[in-house]
Structure 1
C-alpha cells in the first residue's frame, strides 16, 4: 500500500486547544511495520486498516443521554428506573441510525454536563453507574445489524456540582483505591477515568473504540492511549477539535457562521487523508441533550451538511437528543424517517465515494454559476463523478462548473437515469436544459474518459524562493497529494516551474493544503483564518532568467478544492507563480503568512465538446455582427471563441436578438470579456441609450466578468454591445440573471484598529483610528471608507475612495477623531459605502470610546487589538466589559495576553486591577517589563461571573509591558485590566 509520509502529522497541522504537551511524532512507516508484526505502535497512523470501516462510512449518530436528560434526575437509581420503565430499547437507537445510513453510534453518557453517568454495571465507585448493562445491550444490538458503538469519555470534572448536588464521589473512590483522591481536580478525575477506560476495555471487547473529549495529563503520563492500542488494537480513538497524532479521527465540533450555512467543510481544518468527522447538533436550537423541548430540525441545513461532508470525505456525526426513555423527540424521529426514503434514490452517489476536487481527483466543488453551490463525489478513480447541486442557480436552467481537465462522455440524472445535454470549453462543463430541481440535492452522474492535457509527474521540476526544511518545492510536482511545499512564513514568495522544453500552457491547477478554514472565524475562542493564496502574478520565460511583465495578475478565491489560474495560450518553457499575499489576517497567528501547497499541475489545453453550445455566446451564428466585429479564437473563452474589434463606437458591435425573460423588470447583465488594458463596454437594450461600464484589464485572453443593471421587456429583447474605446475589449458571452437582493451585501472583511472599547481620560481626548476594507467576493463600485463622528466631535483626514474593487483588493486609511473640550463617551462607526450593480450597500464597525473612572489612570480591554494574545483567543461574554474576553490563556508559553504601551506619567507602585472570569481554582502569572512573574491565584464559580482582583506592581514612567500567562496550567479568562495610583 502507499504509505503517506510524516507530513500529515497532527502536530504539524494545528495547535492544541485545551492541553499543552509535546505532540507524538508521527512515524507512519515504522508504526505500520510494528502493527504488522504484532507489536504496539509507538505512534499514531494517518491511515491504518482498523480505520477502514469508518472510512467506508458516511455518517454516525451522536447520542448525549444521561442522568440530567430532562427531566433531570439527581438520583442514579431513580434515573435507571425511569429509563427501564419508560421502555428504553437499544434496538430502537440502532434502527434509527440505520434510517440515517449511520454506520456507528457514539454514546455520550459519561458526560460532564449529564451527571457523569455510566450506563454499565461498574466495580469502580465514583459516579452514577447502572445495574442494567445498557452499554452491553447497545453493543449487542448494533453488532446484530452492522452498527458499531463508540463510547464517549471526558476528562472534565468542573461541572461536578452543576445541578446543586455532588455527582462525583471522591470518598467512595478513595476507599476503593486505598488512598485519598479528589475527583473534582483534573488529576484525580484523570486517575478515576483512567480506571474506567480499562474497565470498559475488559468488559466490552465488541466495542469499537473511544470518542474522547479533550485530554488529561494523567492519561498521557501513564501512557493510556498506548495501552489502548496494545489491549484493543482494532479500536478507534477519536478526539474532539484537536488533530492529535495518536488519534485515528479528528472531530470538528459545531461549525456555524458559514456561507452557505450547510458548507460545514469550509470551517474544518484537517486535510485528507486524515480521517475526520463533523459533529453537530441535528436540532438547530437547544442543547446537545434533550432539554424538554421538541426543537426543530432544519431540513435544508441538515441534508446539506450531510451531502457537503460526503463531498469532502468527512463523516457526519449527527447529535440527536434522546429523551429519558430513549425515544427521540418527534421532529428528530420524523427527520430520520424522511431520510430513510429520501436517501435511497441517490445513495449510489454517496456511499463508496470520496470527496471530489481534492486529492482523489474530480471536478471543482463550491460556488458555480448564477448562485449555484454544491459538491462533487467520485468513484472509479474519478471516472464516475457525481455533481450534487445543493443550492440551485437563481434563474438559469443549467449548471456550469470547472471540469479540472476531465473529458466528459455522458451526463445523466441519478434519480431517473435521464440523459442531459452538455458542452465543454474553456475549462468548464455546462450541463444544459435542467428544468426540474430537487428541493435539497439535484444529483448528476457524470461519466468521464479521465483527465486530458496535464503534463505527467516527473515532467516538471519546481524550485521556490523559500521553503521550510523538509517541505521542498519538489513536493509540488511529485504527483503525491500527501506531501506539500511550505513557504516557511515568507510573503511574497515565488515558485518556478521548468517544463523541460517549450510547451503550450493553458492553465495551472493548484491544490492548496486544506489545513485552515476558508474564512475568518473563531473556534472555541481562538481566531482562525484562511491560509490560502490571495493576490498573485504569473510570469513566463524562455530561459528561466528573464521574466518580463506578468502574463496574469489576479486574486484567487479563498475556497476549498482545486483552484485554477488560466493563462491564455502561452508558449514557454518556464513559469513563475509569485504569491503576493494570503487571505489570513494577523489576528490568526497560526495561519498568518503561512502557505502550504500540495500540488501544482500544468495543463496545455482544455477538453472540448461542441454540441448545441452555450446560450448567449457572442459568436453564436444568430447574432448580428456590425462593422469590423469578428470571431476570433480564445482557448479560455466559453465555446473557444469570442468577438473582437468592438472598439470605435456603435458601428462595430455584436447584437443579440431574442434575449428572453419571463417578466418585465430590471435584470443583472453579466458581460464576460477579455481586455489587454482597462477600458469600457457599452450596452444598448431595445434601442435605448447605451449604458457604459468600465472594465478592468485581463492582461491575457482569459475572460473576466463585469455586470450592469438593465431594463428588459417580457419576452424577446435586443441587446447591442460595443465599445467607445479605440481598441475595445473582446466579448465572450453575456448572462442574464436577477438582480441581487437589496440585503445581499458582498462579503468583505473590515479591520479597525483599535478594536473594542477604547478607554480615555477625562477632558478633551483624541483617538487615532485606522481601518482597512477588503473585498472577499464579487465586484463593487464607488467605494468610500471613513469614520462617522458624532455631534461635537471633529474628524481629521479625508475619506478613502476607489472607483471599484475586485476580489482580494482593499483600501485603507487613518484618521484622528477628537472629542469636545468637556470630554465624554462616544460611539464612532467606521463606515464603508459601495455599490453592486447600482445597488447601494454599506458595512461598518463601531469604535466605542469610554471615559475611564476617576480613580483609574489606565484601562484597557484584554481583547483590544492593541494587545498581543499569542495563541489565546477572544470569545463573547455578555457580562464582561465590551461584551468580550480572552480565553484559552495558559497551558503553554505561547498562550498569553501581553499589554504593550501601558503608560503612566511617573514611576512608582500602582494597583493593578484584574477583571476576570473563572470556574474553579486557577492562577495567572503576571510579568511586568520582563521581570520575575508574580503568581495571582483566583477562585470562582461560572465563566459568566466577572470577578476583580488587585495586586501591586512597580511601573516605570512612560510605556510599560504587562503579560498574563501560565506556562504549565490553564489560567482564568481575562476581561480587562486597569491601574489605580
Structure 2
C-alpha cells in the first residue's frame, strides 16, 4: 500500500490519462496530514459577535476575555484533530490579522495571537495553517470601511485601491511574504479561491521556494500546485453523513471535507449556542476517514476564544468516544479503492458504512455507522478471505461466514450509537488472476496503477477486452471506476454534477476473442463509490469483454456526461468460502416435488434450489419478535421472466415477478409480508410461466413509513418560463429515474394541471421500475383560452408503490407573465439553453431563484475554457434593432462578450459589488425576423454570472 509520486503525464492512443506533470499529488511534506484524521476550522475575527469595527477595541476584548492558545489546542486534541486552520483574515470577518504587521491596510493586533497559537501547537504536536482570502467584496458591508487603501498606498509609494481585486491581491501577496518570514513553524496556507494577482506574480512558486515544507490548500478547486483539495459544506446526500458521495477528486490526491459542526448559524460565532448533531458529525468523521478524506470541522469560537456550551459538550464526548477506535481511523486509508479492502456503502437491511485499512498488513476495519434492522451485517468481501473478526471496542470475537462474494458478521448484539467497528483479520485477497497475467485492449486497466486510467473518449457504447492468457474459469469482475464525480445529481458552487459511473452494461466471455455469443451477464451497476462487482456465475473462456451501454450522468452536467473513466479491472476465478452457512438459505430447507439443490458459486452458501415449477421449498422456522408487517427479501435466479408464489402461514399466495437474469447469479426482490410472533412457515413454489431458482430469503423490519426510495426527477423545460400575452402552449417532458435497489411498482407519471388548463397526452405507466430504469413522458400543456397566463406552478407527479406503500415524487413547470414592454424573456438557467462547462447555482435575489455561474475564463484562470450561455430560438416577429437587457451579478469589474447570430462579439463591461446583488446592463442588437441566437461568453477571463435576458423593440441609447 505504499504511495507513489506521480511524475509524468502518460498518453496511450489518447485514452490513457493522468494528472498534469506539475501536480505534486504525493510529496513527503504531506505525510503528517496523510496520517491525520481531522482538523479544526476556526473562523474568528473582528466580526465575531459582538461585532467590532475598531481593531484596538477588539484586541482588548479578546485579551480581557481570557483568550489563551492552549484552550484551542486542547479542544482540537479532544476532537482527534492534528491541525487548526485559523480564518481571521476573512472577507466576512473584517480582514483582521491576529499578528503585529509591518504592512498597513487592515486591522493588525499588537499582541501576537498567531505566534502564540503556533508555539502552543508545536508543544503538543498540533499544526497551525493560516487562512487567506482572495476577496475584497465585503470591505464595507457593515457601513464601515475595513480596508485602508490610503495607508497601504503610502507604504507602497503609489496609489493602490484595496477594494479592487488587483489591489487586494497585491496587498494580500505582501502578507503571504511577511507571514513566511515571521512564522517558520507555521504549517502552511489554507487559501479560499484564487486571486489573479497571485497567479500573475508567481505567489505559489515563491511559497514553494521559501517554505518547501509548508502545505498549500485551496477551497473547492483542484489547483495542480496545491497539496490539498477542500470540499466545502456538502449536503443532500443519503444518508446525510456520507459526505464523500459529493466529492469529485480521486485518490491519492489529499482531500479535505470542511463542514460546520453546529447544525445552524454562521461559520463564525453569531451570538447563539447552536446545537451539534452528534450522529451527523460522527458519521461524517468516520465516513470521510473511510474515503481517505480529512474532516476539517468548523467550530465557532467566541471573542474570548471559548466555544459555546453545546460545542464544548460535543468535544468532550469525542475525547472519550474516539480513543477506543483510534487505531481504525488514524494513519489509515479508505477501503474499497486504490488501497484495497472490502466494499463500502449500503449493505443489508438498511446498514451503511465504510472500511478503513492500515497501510500495511492484512487488517481491515468495518465501520457500521447505520446499523441494520437485523443482527447481522452482510457486505461484499472483494475477494478477501477472512480468518477472524472481533468487536474493536469490546474485543469480543464474532461469528461470521463467507460465500458468494459476501462476508456476513453474525449474531451482533452490541451496537454503538454512532459507529460499531469490527476488526477483521484476513489472509489477503484470493481467487484473482495476477495482474501480470492479464492483457487488455486498454492496458491502463490492468497495469496495477490507480494513478493512470482508461478514458472512453466520450464514446458510448464502448467496450474493453481482457485476455486471461488461456481458457479458464471466470467468476466475477471487480471494477474500480475513477472517483472523479459525485454519485448523484447535484449542483454545487455553480456547476451541475452527476455520476460518471457505469449504468447499463453487458459482459461476454469467449474462447477466441472473436465469437462472443449471448451476454454472460447484463445489468445495471449502482451509482456508488468504491469497487463494484459484476458476478458472472460459472463461466469458462480466455477473453472477457465488458461493454458499457450508458453511464449515470445526464446531459445537464456536461463535465461528466458520457465521460467514462475506469482505473482498474480485476478478474476472479472463485470466491472465498467458509463452511458456516447463513440462516434461511434455501438449500437447507425442506423440499418437495421436483425441487432440487444445484451448485451456484455466486449464491449464498454456494448453492440454490431450482425445479420449482412442480416443487416447493418450505421454511418452517422463520421467527419474528412480534406480530406485524415485515420486509421479506427473496434472492432468486432465472434466465427468463418467471413467477414465484409465496405462501405465509397458509394464507393466500403472493405472486412475485422475477425478471430475466442469469441462472446462477442471484437478484433480489423485496415485498411486505405479515408474520406472527415467534415461528412462521413460508413456502415458495414456482408457476408454469417460468422456472426460477431460490438462493435465500431474509426477513427484516419494514423501513420507516417516511422512507422513499431514492429517485431523480427531471422536468424539461426547467427554469422559470416567461409567457407572452394570450393563450400559451408548452411541450413538457418529464423523466423519473430510480437510483436505489428498491423496486417501484404501479408507477404512473403525468402533469397535474390547474383548472382551466388542458393536457394533450396520457399518463405514462409501468408495472415495475428497477435500479437505473427510467420512465419518460411528454405532454402538451395549454393555458386557459381568452386571457393572459397567470403565475402558475404546475406539478408533474410520479406516483408509485414501494413495499406496498404509496409514494410520490414531484417536479414542476413554473410559468410567469413577462412584462408588457418585453417581446422576449428567458432565464439563463433555462434547459433550452446550452451552457457548456458553466453551471447553475442558487441565487435567492435572482429571477427564478437561480443563475448561471462560472462563465468564461481559460485554463490559466482556473475556469473551463468552454463555459458560456447560448440562447437558441430567440424569436422575434420583426427584423430590426432591439435593446437587449441582461440581468447579472458580479464582484468587481468584468466583461461579457455577446455574440448575436455568429457575428462579431460585442464586449460589455460591467462592475458591481457582491455576487448576491443583481444588476442590469443593456446594449443594442440587430435581430432578424424569426429565430436568432445570442451567446454570452468570455474566452480569456472569467465573466459575470448571468441571471436572465430580455428584449425590447428599439434602442433607447442607455
Where does residue 432 of structure 1 map in the other structure? 410
Which residue of structure 1 lines up, in the alignment, with residue 391 of structure 2?
413
**Correspondence list, 1:233-244, <5 A:** 233-244=212-223
Contact 1:875–1:886 (CA under 8 A) maintained in structure 2: yes
Q: 25, 36, 52: which one pairs with 2:31?
A: 52
Whether the aligned pair in 2 keeps the contact of 1:360 and 1:381 (CA below 8 Å) is no
Q: Secondary structure at the match of 1:716?
A: strand
Check if 1:159 corresponds to 2:138. yes
Cα contact 2:6–2:25 (8 A) shared by 1:
no
Give yes or no for contact 1:94–1:141 (8 Å, CA) kept in 2.
yes
In the alignment, the residues of structure 1 paired with residue 549 and residue 8 of structure 2 have an alpha-carbon distance, to the nearest angstrom, of: 25
Q: Say if 2:819 is the partner of 1:860.
A: no
Aligned to 2:644: 681
Inter-CA distance 380–955: structure 2 relative to 1 (3 Å threshold): closer
Is this contact kept in 2: 1:7–1:483, CA < 8 A?
A: no
Q: 1:879 to 1:561 in 2, by over 3 A?
A: same
Partner of 2:568: 599
CA deviations over 1:821-874 (Å, ceiling 9, x no partner): 214233322211111122111111110222322222111111100011222222
SS at match of 1:653: strand
**How far apart are 1:911 and its partner, in Å?**
1.6
Tell me the residue number matched to 1:339. 318
- Who is 2:243 aligned against? 264
Q: Distance in 1 between matches of 2:806 and 2:896?
A: 49
Whole-angstrom CA distance in 1 between matches of 2:275 and 2:504: 42
Q: State the partner residue of 2:544.
A: 575
Q: Secondary structure at the match of 1:419?
A: coil
Q: Equivalent residue of 1:590, what SS?
A: coil
With over 3 angstroms needed to count, the CA separation of the structure-2 counterparts of 1:25 and 1:405, relative to structure 1, is closer
Q: C-alpha separation between the residues in 2 aligned to 1:192 and 1:490? A: 48
**2: CA distance between counterparts of 1:382 and 1:251?**
30
Query: 1:758 aligned to 2:730?
Result: no
* Superposition pairs of residues 510-659 of structure 1, within 5 angstroms: 510-611=479-580, 613-620=581-588, 623-648=589-614, 652-659=615-622
Displacement after TM superposition at 1:8 (Å):
8.3
Residues 333-372 of structure 1 correspond to what in structure 2 (within 5 A)?
333-372=312-351
**Aligned to 1:488, what secondary structure does the other structure show?**
coil
1:514/1:164 CA distance change after superposition, 3 Å: same
Tell me which of 623, 626, 629 is aligned to 1:663.
Answer: 626
Q: Deviations over 1:566-609 (max 9, x none)?
A: 00000111111000111111111111111111100000000000
Cα distance between partner residues in 1 of 2:9 and 2:88:
32
- In structure 1, what is the equivalent of residue 862 of structure 2? none
TM-superposed CA distance for 1:3, in Å, is 3.7
Q: CA deviation at 1:739?
A: 2.3
CA contact (8 A) 1:138 1:149 kept: yes
The 1-side partners of 2:404 and 2:19 are apart by 45
User: Shift of residue 978 of structure 1?
Assistant: 1.4
Query: 1:254 & 1:678 partners in 2: Cα distance?
Result: 45
C-alpha deviation, 1:818, in angstroms: 1.6
Q: What residue in structure 2 maps to residue 39 of structure 1? A: none
- Aligned mates of 1:206, 1:303 — CA distance in 2: 31
Aligned to 1:746: 709
Alignment of 1:26 with 2:20, yes or no, is: yes
Which of residues 183, 200, 217 is equivalent to 1:204? Answer: 183
Offset of residue 121 of structure 1: 0.6
Helix, strand or coil for the counterpart of 1:660?
A: strand
User: Aligned pair 1:179/2:142, yes or no?
Assistant: no
How do 1:227-306 and structure 2 match up within 5 A?
227-306=206-285
Following superposition, the deviation at residue 382 of structure 1 comes to 5.5
CA distance in 2, matches of 1:852, 1:152: 45
Instruction: Report the Cα distance in structure 1 between the residues aligned to 2:547 and 2:294, rounded to whole angstroms.
Output: 36
1:914 maps to 886
Deviations along 1:101-157, one digit per CA (max 9) or x if unpaired, are 211111111111111111111111011100111111011000111111111111111
Worse-superposed segment, 851-860 or 712-721: 851-860
Kept in 1, the 8 Å contact 2:663–2:693? The answer is no
Q: How does 1:704-853 map to 2 (within 5 A)?
A: 704-725=667-688, 727-777=690-740, 778-823=742-787, 824-825=789-790, 826-853=792-819
Q: Do 1:551 and 1:700's aligned partners in 2 also have CA atoms closer than 8 Å?
A: no
Q: Equivalent of 2:841, from 875, 879, 894?
A: 875
Q: Secondary structure at the match of 1:494?
A: strand
Checking the alignment, whether the CA contact within 8 Å between 2:121 and 2:128 is kept in structure 1 is yes
Q: Take 2:345 and 2:167, find their aligned partners in 1: how far apart are those partners? A: 48
Tell me, in whole angstroms, the C-alpha distance in 1 between the residues paired with 2:544 and 2:5. Answer: 29
Name the SS of the counterpart of 1:424 in structure 2.
strand
Q: Deviations over 1:187-216 (max 9, x none)?
A: 111111111111111111111111111112
C-alpha RMSD of matched pairs (Å):
1.6
User: 2:366 is paired with a residue of what secondary structure?
Assistant: strand
Alpha-carbon distance, 1:6 to partner: 5.1
Distance 2:846 2:58 in 1: 37
Asked if structure 1 preserves the Cα contact closer than 8 Å seen for 2:386 and 2:426, the reply is yes
Q: CA deviation at 1:937?
A: 3.2
Please tell me whether the aligned partners of residues 263 and 274 of structure 2 are also in contact (alpha carbons under 8 angstroms): yes
Pick the aligned partner of 2:932 from 941, 960, 963. 960
Matched, 1:508 2:508: no
Runs of 4+ in 1 over 6 A off after TM superposition: none
Residue pair 2:6, 2:26 contacting (<8 A) in 1 also: no
Q: CA contact under 8 A between 1:629 and 1:643: conserved in structure 2?
A: yes
Inter-partner Cα distance in structure 1 for 2:398 and 2:749: 48
What's the counterpart of residue 466 of structure 1? none
Q: 1:447 aligns with which of 401, 404, 425?
A: 425
- Whether 2:882 is the aligned partner of 1:903: answer no
Instruction: Note if contact 1:8-1:274 (Cα within 8 Å) is conserved in structure 2.
Output: no
2:157 and 2:247 map into 1 onto residues whose CA distance is: 45
Taking the aligned partners of 2:137 and 2:793, their CA distance within structure 1 comes to 39
Asked whether the 8 Å contact 2:331–2:359 carries over to 1, the reply is: no
Between stretches 293-302 and 818-827, larger displacement belongs to: 818-827
Return the offset for 1:967: 3.3
Report the alpha carbon displacement of residue 360 of structure 1 after superposing the two structures with TM.
0.7
- Separation in structure 2 between the aligned mates of residue 549 and residue 822 of structure 1, nearest angstrom: 59
1:932-947 pair list within 5 angstroms: 932-947=904-919
Contact 1:361/1:381 (<8 A) preserved:
no
Residues 140 and 54 (structure 1), Cα distance of their counterparts in 2 relative to 1, 3 Å cut: same
What is the aligned partner in structure 2 of residue 931 from structure 1? 903
Per-residue CA distance 1:70-98 (angstroms, 9 max, x = gap): 11100001111111111110111111111
Could you tell me whether the CA contact under 8 Å between 2:641 and 2:690 is conserved in 1? Answer: no
How many residue pairs were aligned?
A: 937
Q: Are the counterparts in 2 of residues 109 and 119 from structure 1 also a CA contact under 8 Å?
A: yes
| 1:974 paired to 2:941 | no
Q: Which moved more, 1:719-728 or 1:677-686?
A: 719-728
Alignment partner of 1:273: what SS? coil
Aligned equivalents of 1:53, 1:875: Cα separation in 2: 36
| 1:385 paired residue number | 364
Q: What's the CA shift string for 1:247-302, capped at 9, x where partnerless? A: 11111111111111111111111111111111111111111111111111100010
Alpha-carbon distance in structure 1 between the residues aligned to 2:689 and 2:246:
47
Cα distance between partner residues in 2 of 1:543 and 1:628: 38
Q: Which runs of 5+ in 1 are unaligned?
A: 10-23, 28-42, 464-472
Say whether the 8 Å CA contact 1:276–1:315 is kept in structure 2: yes
Query: How far does residue 972 in structure 1 lie from its aligned partner after superposition?
Result: 2.9
5+ residue gaps, structure 2, are 11-17, 859-864, 954-958
Q: How far 1:913 sits from its partner (Å)?
A: 2.0
